[in-house]
């Protein structure tokens, strides 16, 4: 029996990167899982079945697109229908686009706000009634160091991440007497496909080589000079789900190698 046995966790954007590490950490503690996100069907099936096989829990995939409110509600309903409850909700799906503001494509702005911010509003809205009814819940939002500080060329991302930090605080206060906590985890640079993919655009925007982007932009911001690992981020999320974290709510927890201390 794991500490999360009998509980269900929905993790958005969990076909890759940090989200997949969250899903595997919760499964390791005994929770049933709803994974979500895009990818080749065979790759998603491989990750889904590996969660079941590695941890002896159940896992289903919701194909919900985080830009579509009705699909987000269906994702929460899928968890409730399949397992009887959604106890842990992790809003993690996120995308990045790097551009000077005067050239920033309007559709990219709208997409980043929808996926990185509004999707959390829609999923929390759908999951809270069940959590309130059962008198227990954990809401964890993957924010970012960019919820606390800014970088140039990331106007949409920084706006969405500052927004999710505010949303988290409002929700934490609303739910404070219901044994439901809401917190942000704010990683610095974690080596995932999201980070890898932004290297070419940053090279273009700043006129740098790949090595310069990695060392002079990314790790320059991180005093430890090391990337955060997905496992380290997932371990913090798992802690937030435990009884020891019952009084941590409305917090924005940095895991950024000292970035935002500077
Ligand atoms: P990733 O690219 O590896 O994973 C992103 C996930 O989101 C994937 O599963 C993808 O399929 C999913 N996704 C994208 N668009 C979607 C949509 N419309 N609907 C549903 N799913 C969608 O990225 P990651 O680095 O693991 O990032 C996860 C979260 O962590 C993001 O919110 C990101 O902003 C945040 N974050 C990442 C870092 C980092 O350095 N990697 C740092 C701070 C915060």
Mean pLDDT of the chain: 97
| 133-170: pLDDT as tens digits | 999 999 999 999 999 999 999 999 999 999 999 999 99
Do 212 and 89 share a structural domain?
Answer: no
Domain count, the chain: 2
Do 218 and 204 share a structural domain?
Answer: yes
| 45-63: pLDDT as tens digits | 999 999 999 999 999 999 9
Could you tell me if residue 143 is inside a domain? Answer: yes
Do 135 and 19 share a structural domain?
Answer: yes
Ligand 1 neighbourhood includes 93 CB (under 6 angstroms): yes
Q: What is the DSSP string of 7-70?
A: -EEEETT-SSHHHHHHHHHHHHTT-EEEEE--S-HHHHHHHHHHHHHHHS--EEEE---TT-HH
Ligand 1 neighbourhood includes 8 CB (under 6 angstroms): no
Do 200 and 86 share a structural domain?
Answer: no
Residue to substitute in 18, 167, 231 for testing ligand 1 pocket (most ligand atoms within 8 angstroms of CB):
18
Do 220 and 244 share a structural domain?
Answer: no
Share of the chain above pLDDT 70, in %: 100
Ligand 1 neighbourhood includes 257 CB (under 6 angstroms): no
Where is pLDDT greater, at 191 or 130? 130
Could you tell me if residue 262 is inside a domain? Answer: no
Helix, strand, coil percentages in the chain from 3-state DSSP, rounded to 5: 55, 15, 30
Could you tell me if residue 3 is inside a domain? Answer: no
Do 147 and 200 share a structural domain?
Answer: no
pTM of the entire structure? 0.96
Q: What is the pLDDT of residue 50?
A: 98
Do 218 and 140 share a structural domain?
Answer: no
Do 232 and 216 share a structural domain?
Answer: no
Query: Residue of the nearest CA to atom 36 in ligand 1?
Result: 144
- Let me know: does 17 contact 190? Beta carbons within 8 Å: yes
Ligand 1 neighbourhood includes 193 CB (under 6 angstroms): yes
Do 12 and 88 share a structural domain?
Answer: yes
Q: What is the pLDDT of residue 218?
A: 87
Q: What is the pLDDT of residue 141?
A: 99
Q: How confident is the model at residue 21 (pLDDT cuts 50, 70, 90)?
A: very high
Do 152 and 31 share a structural domain?
Answer: yes
Separation CA 217–CA 203 (nearest Å)? 10
Calculate how far, in angstroms, residue 95's C-alpha sits from the geometric centre of ligand 1.
6
Q: What is the pLDDT of residue 198?
A: 82
* Boundaries of domain holding 205: 191-226
Nearest to 88 by CA among 154, 204, 180: 180
Share of the chain above pLDDT 90, in %: 93
Do 180 and 90 share a structural domain?
Answer: yes
CATH number for the domain spanning 40: value is 3.40.50.720
| 168-207: pLDDT as tens digits | 999 999 999 999 999 999 999 999 987 888 899 889 999 9
């Amino acid at each position: 029996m794991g500490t999360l046995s009998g509980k269900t966790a929905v993790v958005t954007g969990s076909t890759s990167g940090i989200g997949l590490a969250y899903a595997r950490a919760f499964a390791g503690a005994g929770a049933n899982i709803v994974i979500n996100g895009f990818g080749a069907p065979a790759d998603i099936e491989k990750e889904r079945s590996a969660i079941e096989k590695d941890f002896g829990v159940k896992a289903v995939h919701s194909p919900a697109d985080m830009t579509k409110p009705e699909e987000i509600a269906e994702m929460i309903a899928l968890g409730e229908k399949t397992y009887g409850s959604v106890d842990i909700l992790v809003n993690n799906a996120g995308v990045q686009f790097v551009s000077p503001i005067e050239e920033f494509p309007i559709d990219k702005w709208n997409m980043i706000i929808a996926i990185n911010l509004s999707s959390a509003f829609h999923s929390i809205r759908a999951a809270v009634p069940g959590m309130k009814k059962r008198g227990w819940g954990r809401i964890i939002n993957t924010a970012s160091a960019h919820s606390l500080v800014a970088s140039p060329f990331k106007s949409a991302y920084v706006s969405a991440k500052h927004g999710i930090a505010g949303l988290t605080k409002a929700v934490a206060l609303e739910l404070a007497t219901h044994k439901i906590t809401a917190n942000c985890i704010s990683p610095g640079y974690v080596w995932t496909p999201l980070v890898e993919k932004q290297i070419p655009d940053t090279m273009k925007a700043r006129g740098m080589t790949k090595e310069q982007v990695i060392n002079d932009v990314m790790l320059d911001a991180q005093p430890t000079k090391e990337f955060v690992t997905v496992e380290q981020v997932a371990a913090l999320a798992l802690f937030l789900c435990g009884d020891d974290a019952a009084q941590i709510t409305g917090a924005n927890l940095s895991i950024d190698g000292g970035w935002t201390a500077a």
